[in-house]
Structure formats: C-alpha cells, structure tokens
Amino acid sequence: MSLTRDQMLNEMGLSPQWKLREQPAVARAAKKSPMVASIAPPDRTPVVKTLAVEAIASSAASGAEREEQIAQFGWDQLRQSIAACRACGLCAERKQAVPGVGDENADWLFIGEGPGTDEEVQGEPFVGPAGKLLDAMLAAIDLKRGDDVYIANAVKCRPPDNRPPEAAEMAACAPFLKRQIALIQPRLIVLLGRAAAHALLGEEGLLASLRGKPFTYRAGERDIPVVVTYHPAYLLRTLPDKSKAWEDLCRARALMRVAKAD
C-alpha cells in the first residue's frame, strides 16, 4: 500500500510540524543550470579498462594507490569493488554490501552512517524504521527517494550489532564515498548524524555543535555546500529534536535554491 505524503507524515507523528509551507521557487525542470551542464562531461561513468576490480579488493595496493584506482571507477566498477572489498574487518560478516541507492545524477545527496540488518538483507540504505522517518523527512521538503535524491552511507558494510562504524572503517570506505560524490556531482550534501560528519568533514564534535555551521565539501573544482543534521534513528528516540532537524532541512532547501540559481 502506498501512502500519501500527509498519511506518511501522520504515521511518523510528524504532522503538522513537518509540512512544507512554501513551494520551491525554482522549478524542478530547471534542475541543472546550462553552465553546470556545459562543464560536466557528457559521460559521467568513464570506463577504466586497464584496472582489475580484484586489485582493489586485495590489500596489495597501498592506501594511496587504492584511492587513485577507485577515483577512476565508473558506477559498475565501483559497485563491484564495494561488493568485493576487504579493506577493513567489516567484510568478515558481510552478507552483502550496501553501496547506495537513487538517482545517480541527483542534486541531493544524503549520507548516513552504515547499513543495519534490514539494509543488509535488502541491499538498500535506510529501509528500516529510520529509513521510514528519512522518507518522511524527504517528503516534508517535497523530495522522494530515487527522484533527484541519492542516499549513501559512510560505510557500505553493516557494523556488527549495528554499532557505529569506527574511524578506521570509515577511512577504509572513504574512497568509495568520495568516488560516489564525484560521479553524482550533487549540488548539496546532507549528513545524517555524527558518523557521517566525521567521515566526510573530519569533524568529531557533538552533532549539536555541528548543526547550522556552513560547511562545504571540496569535490574537484567545486565546493559543495554541506548541511549536518541529526540521524533519523536518533530522532526516533529523541522527539524534541525533530524541530531542529526540520530547521536544518529548511536551511538545506534554501541552500539548494541558491545553488540552483548560481
């Protein structure tokens, strides 16, 4: 059964607080500006014929070599490489890796922590209870999973007992996330929770100290605006902070308008 947006917000206990009061000023149709389109290479998934995916999965390559190799991968090679990765201990119990899901040319990139049990079974990020809340958060700003939205995680394999990923595990997975960002070329990145902020920005502070700060992520020649907000799983446990997450989403929406106008 598919729910309407209002039904979904009600289900999540978010209505009416999460209702969008204004409509986005910039039409969805004007998604990528002509300037961006003219800069972007026509094919965003270069084929690297000389590299074997197995080389990435083995520990033979040094950290820098591995990163350089991954930086040249197209989507298929990236997915294969993630599926076969043995760069950290999370591969030991892996049933399947969860690379990410959505529109590979999305303006919006949401990054969480790492897959949980449901995500590992389904091979898709944010499909459990936190995912339902994330979908409601997206709906509240007129977004939908897969439609101009890509969802990824700091680590692609489930940490045991659903613990937060360790710094070394996020570092091992970082080249994959970096390559995803380079391929997607999002206009805006939303980091969901502390682990994502640590993985992408190197920020180790408390989430409350990171919210509202004007971060950017350097991708090639571009600085992509980054919004840090609470992880949906935390919001499910801490209802009063939902209003702060809503403020963050409104800020993200405003930044997106600016990014589209540039």
**Interaction between residue 125 and ligand URA (CB under 6 A):** yes
Residue 126 φ/ψ region, left for φ over 0, alpha for ψ in the -120 to 50 degree band, beta for the rest: left
Find out whether 80 and 176 touch, Cβ atoms under 8 Å: no
The C-alpha R_g of the chain, in whole angstroms, comes to: 18
Q: Which of 99, 100, 102, 112 binds ligand URA (CB under 6 A)?
A: 112
Query: How many C-beta atoms surround the C-beta of residue 21 within 10 A?
Result: 6
CA 142 – CA 208 distance, rounded (Å): 25
Q: Which of 99, 100, 102, 116 binds ligand URA (CB under 6 A)?
A: 116
For the chain, helix (H) and strand (E) counts, in that order, are 12, 6
Nearer to ligand URA among residue 126 and residue 150 (C-beta): 126
User: Minimum CB separation from ligand URA for residue 125, in Å?
Assistant: 3
**Interaction between residue 102 and ligand URA (CB under 6 A):** no
**Interaction between residue 165 and ligand URA (CB under 6 A):** no
Restricted to residues 230-259, the positions that interact with ligand URA (CB under 6 A) are 233
Nearer to ligand URA among residue 156 and residue 253 (C-beta): 156
Q: Nearest 5°: phi and psi at 181?
A: -65, -40
Size of the site for ligand URA (CB under 6 A): 12
Find out whether 116 and 98 touch, Cβ atoms under 8 Å: no
| Residue whose beta carbon is closest to ligand URA | 112
Q: Which of 114, 159, 165, 175 binds ligand URA (CB under 6 A)?
A: 114
User: What stretch of H or E contains 218?
Assistant: strand 215-219
DSSP secondary structure code for residue 100 in this structure: -
**Interaction between residue 100 and ligand URA (CB under 6 A):** no
Applying CB under 6 A, the span of 77-85, 111-119, 178-186, 218-226 interacting with ligand URA comes to: 111-119
Greatest alpha-carbon pair distance for the chain in Å reads 54
CA 248 – CA 18 distance, rounded (Å): 12
**Interaction between residue 113 and ligand URA (CB under 6 A):** yes
Applying CB under 6 A, the span of 57-65, 123-131, 179-187, 201-209 interacting with ligand URA comes to: 123-131
**Interaction between residue 153 and ligand URA (CB under 6 A):** yes
Q: How far is CA 79 from the centre of its chain?
A: 15
**Interaction between residue 115 and ligand URA (CB under 6 A):** yes
Q: Which residues sit at the interface with ligand URA, rule CB under 6 A?
A: 112-116, 119, 125-126, 130-131, 153, 233
